[in-house]
Amino acid sequence: MPANLPPQYFEVERRLKTARTAQEKIAICEELLAIIPKHKGTEKLQAQFKSKIAKLRQESERKPAGAKHGPIGRVEKSGAGQVAVIGPPNGGKSSIIRALTGHEVEVADYPYTTRTAAPFMMPFENIQVQLIDTPPIASDFMENRLPEIIKTADTVLVAVDLGDPEAASSLEGVLAALKEKRIELVLQSRTIPPEKCPFLKHALLVGTKLDAQGAASVLDEIKVLFAGRFGMTAISTASGEGVEALRKAVFDLLKIVRVYSKAPGKKADLTSPFTLKIGSTVMDMARAVHKDFALNLNFARIWSRGGQIEGLRVQRDHVLADEDVVELHL
């Protein structure tokens, strides 16, 4: 028996994918339970949400209310993508995260201030991207579980202090330490086969303290030494120079598109897009909405950003572009 779920269900379900705390997830699950029609076709779905609520309550009871970040280890993904921010001691990782997210991050002029992995959310237009502040890496030191965080992240930012005359040497130390763990940072343009994803990571080098004395010459040296190995940009967190450009660069590094759903006869909600990998099709969008849509999809209509396409009927294999509006027809 089909579930026949109302459109409101799918709107609320999307919020569940970006919920961060157990309490927030419980509230959304309870809201979904209230929306789900009560008949035989939804009994299994109702049971799944009841079970999820019970597990979330057990989880929240086990964790201290004030504990925001546990010891270094796997960080549960949230938002449109997860970006590991790595670098040498005092490279400026925490300063980058503070500039991009607006959250207070412990920053100090002595090395190894950051000892645990901590997630923060960076807003970019109408999505949120998760940035992971990590312990520093040196040629002779790396926290044991840090490689796993890097492997599971979608992409990597590498922070380096342009005010440090030895910045290039510090960066070499980071890359050497990663190589020992079989992790290689590569250009954004390089295609990574799925089986290589844990060990090859698209990366962007971010030079911090662009306003420091001698920063320009240090940046030039790094560009010469590391040309062709990964992309580079530079910022000043003091003046804000380059920060907004970096925000856009992080979005581009993730290689995702934002796609909006639209019910027939209604306006699209442009505030809460689905995020899919570049190259995703209408069928991928249908799967993201709900498995019932993927099973029963007939065709779709597309509206493109800028109005070049207006309600064009397309098939399941149509490749979606950033900010397409998609109307699914069953």
Look up residue 225 and give its two tokens: 């030494």
- What digits encode the pLDDT tens for the residues 248-285? 999 999 999 999 998 888 888 888 899 999 999 999 98
**Angle between helical axes of 22-35 and 43-62 (0-180°, round to 10):** 160
Read off the pLDDT of residues 69-116 as tens digits, 9 standing for 90 and up. Answer: 444 556 888 889 999 999 999 899 999 999 999 887 765 554 555 557
* Averaged pLDDT of the chain: 86
- CB within 8 Å of 79: residues ≥ 6 apart: 18, 121, 127, 128, 129, 130
Assign domain 256-330 one CATH number from 3.30.390.10, 3.10.20.30, 2.40.30.130, 3.60.15.10. 3.10.20.30
Cβ of 49: how many Cβ atoms within 10 Å?
18
What pTM value is reported for the model?
A: 0.75
Tokens of 309: 């396409």
Contacts 24+ apart (CB under 8 A), 298-301: 298/329, 298/330, 299/329, 300/326, 300/327, 300/328, 300/329, 301/326, 301/327, 301/329
Whole-number Å distance between alpha carbons of 46 and 32: 9
pLDDT tens by residue, 205-230: 999 999 999 999 999 999 999 988 88
One DSSP character per residue, 25-78 reads HHHHHHHHHHHS--SGGGHHHHHHHHHHHHHHHHHHHHS-TT----SSS-----
Using a pLDDT cut of 70, give the percent of the chain over it.
89
Is 82-254 in CATH node 3.40.50.300?
Answer: yes
